[in-house]
Amino acid sequence: MQLFLAPREVYANAVLVGLIFSAVSIGSASTQEKVLNLYTARHYATDEAFYTGFTKATGIKVDRIEGGEDALFERIKAEGAASPADVFLTVDVARLWRAQQAGIFAPLKSALLAKRIPAHYRDPDGNWFGFSSRARIIAYDRRKVSPGDVARYEELANPKWKSEICTRPSSHPYNLSLISSMILHLGEDKAREWGRGVAANLARPPRGGDTDQLTAVGVGECSIALSNHYYYVRLMRSAKTEDRALVERVGIVWPNQNDRGTHVNISGGGMLKNAPHRDAAAKFLEYLASDTAQTYFANGNNEWPTVKGVKLANPELESFGQFRTDALSLANLGKTQAAAQRLADQVGWK
């Protein structure tokens, strides 16, 4: 069963309705023993393979509610002990950290997850686990920029790129996590100087998603942009002529290969504190770390598996080969989110 939340802007007025709706439409421990109730902010159609695959492997039915990250988070808090949700899935460690700080997760001790998910991709106490990774790349106009000129995130603050950079708003978790990594690597003072330089180099007020930034480079609105890698791979795999043309014009760089490596983030989740089906929740999270499920992340949404050694069937993703990734613990990125937002506000990066 698949349900959808009301738009987040009206969510606050629909909490009570939502609570009643949950009680009658989501499986409970007393009425359905072999069921998993999932709240997911992953909005990718290809994720359907996870649910059917899990049910086929375990016999456990997946009932789910899909919605925006903030709306789902607020719903879980509002439902409290009466929540029917067993597992919360979302994207970006910032959101996982926020959920952990709110106390909605239940630590899960799983030898399988501890073995298969690298330590820097999971919470040390088992509150959440990262099942796929995404790199924050630098995209550039092949006709105007040499990839060597933007080989490091630090180069984005170079005054020669004034009015040449496009990006999402700084408040978006994808950018906040990058800023957090800069703080952890450079210290707040140098990171602030870097952020001030990036803000001064923006071609336009930040807006849109990552595909919008790539398109802006392609049409000449700016020469450089920040994007998660899988948006670019979607264009590579597209059958649309305009998407293929965009790839021909827009190149990408894996930043900081000669030092700390490219900043990466995760999509992940954890078992909820009030989960009525804890065994099913543990089995589902462990299933997401299986080779079968890990290939769904890669082949469906062009994300990299966090489990090492998983064989892919995605030629475009595999064409990038091996590259160095930043080994910072993602839990530390979560702890630095507030400092990252303060920095962005201070330097005028909207």
Domains of the chain: 2-133+265-311 (3.40.190.10), 134-262+326-347 (3.40.190.10)
Mean pLDDT throughout 315-324? 93
Q: Could you tell me if 313 and 74 are in contact, meaning their C-beta atoms sit under 8 angstroms apart?
A: no
Give the residue-averaged pLDDT of 250-269: 97
Q: What is the pLDDT of residue 46?
A: 81
Q: What pLDDT score was predicted for residue 72?
A: 95
Q: Do 328 and 264 touch, CB atoms closer than 8 A?
A: no
Split at pLDDT 50, 70, 90, the class of 6 is very low
Cα–Cα distance measured from residue 272 to residue 39, given in angstroms and rounded to the nearest whole number? 10
pLDDT at residue number 290: 97
Q: What is the mean pLDDT of residues 126-135?
A: 96
- The share of the chain scoring above pLDDT 90, in percent, equals 82
C-alpha dihedral (87, 90, 94, 99), degrees to nearest 10: -30
Amino acid found at 106 = A
Percent of the chain with pLDDT over 70: 91
Q: Name residue, tokens 């990036």.
A: 198
Q: How far apart are CA 95 and CA 266, in angstroms?
A: 10
What CA–CA distance (Å, rounded) separates 68 from 14?
14
pLDDT over threshold 80, residue 239: yes
Report pLDDT for 30: 41
Pair type for strands 264-271 and 250-253? unpaired
What amino acid occupies position 210? D
C-alpha dist (Å) from residue 288 to 68, 77, 190: 21, 25, 39
Query: Rounded to whole angstroms, how far apart are CA atoms 296 and 46?
Result: 8
pLDDT at 43: 83
Q: What is the C-alpha to C-alpha distance for residues 217 and 214, in angstroms, rounded to an integer?
A: 5
Residue 175 has pLDDT above 90, yes or no: yes
Tokens 């962005």 sit at which residue?
Answer: 344
Q: What pLDDT is stored for residue 33 in this prediction?
A: 63
Q: Would the pTM count as exceeding 0.95?
A: no
d(CA 107, CA 129): 10
Buried b (16+ CB within 10 A) or exposed e, 101-132: eeebbbebebeebeebbeebbbbeebbbbbbb
Confidence label for 259 from pLDDT (cuts 50, 70 and 90):
very high
33/218: higher pLDDT: 218
Q: Is the pLDDT of residue 309 over 60?
A: yes
Residue 1, pLDDT > 70, answer no
Tell which wins on pLDDT, 2 or 152: 152
Average pLDDT over all residues of the chain: 90
Q: What is the pLDDT of residues 328-348, one digit of tens each?
A: 988 899 889 999 999 999 999
φ, ψ of residue 217 in degrees (nearest 5):
-65, -40
Provide long-range contacts, Cβ within 8 A and 24+ apart, for 125-128. 126/270, 127/96, 127/100, 127/270, 128/96, 128/99, 128/100, 128/268, 128/269, 128/270
pLDDT number for residue 215: 98
**What is the SS3 string spanning the chain?**
CEEECCCHHHHHHCHHHHHHHHHHHCCCCCCCCCEEEEEECCCCHHHHHHHHHHHHHHCCEEEEEECCHHHHHHHHHHHHHHCCCCEEEEECHHHHHHHHHCCCECCCCCHHHHHHCCHHHECCCCCCEEEEEEEEEEEEECCCCCHHHHCCHHHHHCHHHCCCEECCCCCCHHHHHHHHHHHHHHCHHHHHHHHHHHHHCECCCCCCCHHHHHHHHHCCCCCEEEEEHHHHHHHHHCCCHHHHHHHHHEEEECCCCCCCCECEEEEEEEEECCCCCHHHHHHHHHHHCCHHHHHHHHHHHCCEECCCCCCCCCHHHHCCCCCCECCCCHHHHHHCHHHHHHHHHHHCCC
Greatest alpha-carbon pair distance for the chain in Å reads 64
Arithmetic mean of pLDDT, 54-73:
94
